[in-house]
Amino acid sequence: MRRRLTLKQLLQPLKDISKTLPEHRRGRNKQYALSDAALSAFSVFYMQSPSFLEWQRRMQRSKGRNNAASLFGVQRIPSAEQIRDLLDPVSEEHFGDAYWALFDMVKERKELEVFRRSMGTWLVSLDGTQHHSSTSIHCEQCRRSERKGQTHYEHQVLLPVICAPDKKVVLPLQPEFMTPQDGAEKQDCEQAAIKRWIQKHHQRFHPWEVTLLADDLHSRQPVCSLALAHKMHFIFTCKESSHKSLYEELHLLEKVEGGVQEKEERHWNGRYWERRRYRWAEALPLRRGPDALLVNWCEMTVWRESTGKRIFHGAWVTDYAVDEHNVMAITTAGRSRWKVENEGNNVLKNQGYQFEHNYGHGKQHLANVLLTLLLLAFLIHTIFDLIDEKYQAIREELGARRTFFETIRTLTRFQYFRNWEHLLVFMFYGLELEPG
User: Which pLDDT belongs to residue 154?
Assistant: 83
In the structure, what pLDDT confidence band is assigned to residue 1 with cuts at 50, 70 and 90?
Answer: very low
User: Which pLDDT belongs to residue 179?
Assistant: 83
pLDDT in tens, 153-185: 888 899 999 999 888 889 999 999 998 765 555
With beta carbons less than 8 A apart as the criterion, state whether 302 and 292 touch. Answer: no
Number of residues in the chain: 436
Q: How many CB atoms lie within 10 A of CB 345?
A: 19
pLDDT for 366 beyond 50:
yes
Query: How far is CA 151 from its chain centroid?
Result: 29
pLDDT for 41 beyond 90:
yes
pLDDT for 313 beyond 90:
yes
pLDDT for 230 beyond 90:
yes
What residue type is assigned to position 72 of the chain? Answer: F
3-state secondary structure the chain: CCCCCCHHHHHHHHHHHHCCCCCCCCCCCCCCCHHHHHHHHHHHHHHCCCCHHHHHHHHHHHHCCCHHHHHHCCCCCCCHHHHHHHHCCCCHHHHHHHHHHHHHHHCCCHHHHHHHCCCCCEEEEEEEEEEEEECCCCCCCCEEEEECCEEEEEEEEEEEEEECCCCCCCEECCCEEECCCCCCCCCCCHHHHHHHHHHHHHHHCCCCCEEEEECHHHCCHHHHHHHHHCCCEEEEECCHHHCHHHHHHHHHHHCCCCCCEEEEEEEECCCCEEEEEEEEEEEEECCCCCCCCEEEEEEEEEEECCCCCEEEEEEEEECCCCCCCCHHHHHHHHHHHHHHHHHHHHHHHHCCCCCCCCCCCCCCCHHHHHHHHHHHHHHHHHHHHHHCHHHHHHHHHHCCHHHHHHHHHHHHHHCCCCCHHHHHHHHHHHCCCCCC
Q: Determine whether 47 is exposed, middle or buried from the number of CB atoms within 10 Å of its CB (0-12, 13-18, 19+).
A: buried
**Nearest to 161, CA basis, from 286, 306, 347:** 347
Give the lowest-confidence range in 113-117, 213-217, 233-237, 261-265: 113-117
- The Cα 40–Cα 80 span in angstroms is 9
**Mean pLDDT along residues 96-105:** 96
Higher pLDDT, 278 or 140: 278
- The Cα 159–Cα 223 span in angstroms is 16
pLDDT for 9 beyond 70:
yes
User: Which pLDDT belongs to residue 355?
Assistant: 54
Average pLDDT, the chain: 90
**Nearest to 368, CA basis, from 154, 73, 172:** 154
- pTM higher than 0.85: yes
In the structure, what pLDDT confidence band is assigned to residue 311 with cuts at 50, 70 and 90?
Answer: very high
pLDDT in tens, 111-133: 888 898 878 999 999 998 887 77
- % of the chain with per-residue pLDDT over 90: 73
- The Cα 209–Cα 162 span in angstroms is 12
- % of the chain with per-residue pLDDT over 70: 93
Higher pLDDT, 51 or 354: 51
Sketch the domain layout of the chain as residue ranges: 1-106+357-436, 237-332
**Mean pLDDT along residues 56-84:** 96
Q: Determine whether 174 is exposed, middle or buried from the number of CB atoms within 10 Å of its CB (0-12, 13-18, 19+).
A: buried
Give, rounded to a whole angstrom, the gap between the first and last alpha carbons of the chain: 16
In the structure, what pLDDT confidence band is assigned to residue 251 with cuts at 50, 70 and 90?
Answer: very high
CA torsion angle 201 207 213 216 (round to 10): 90
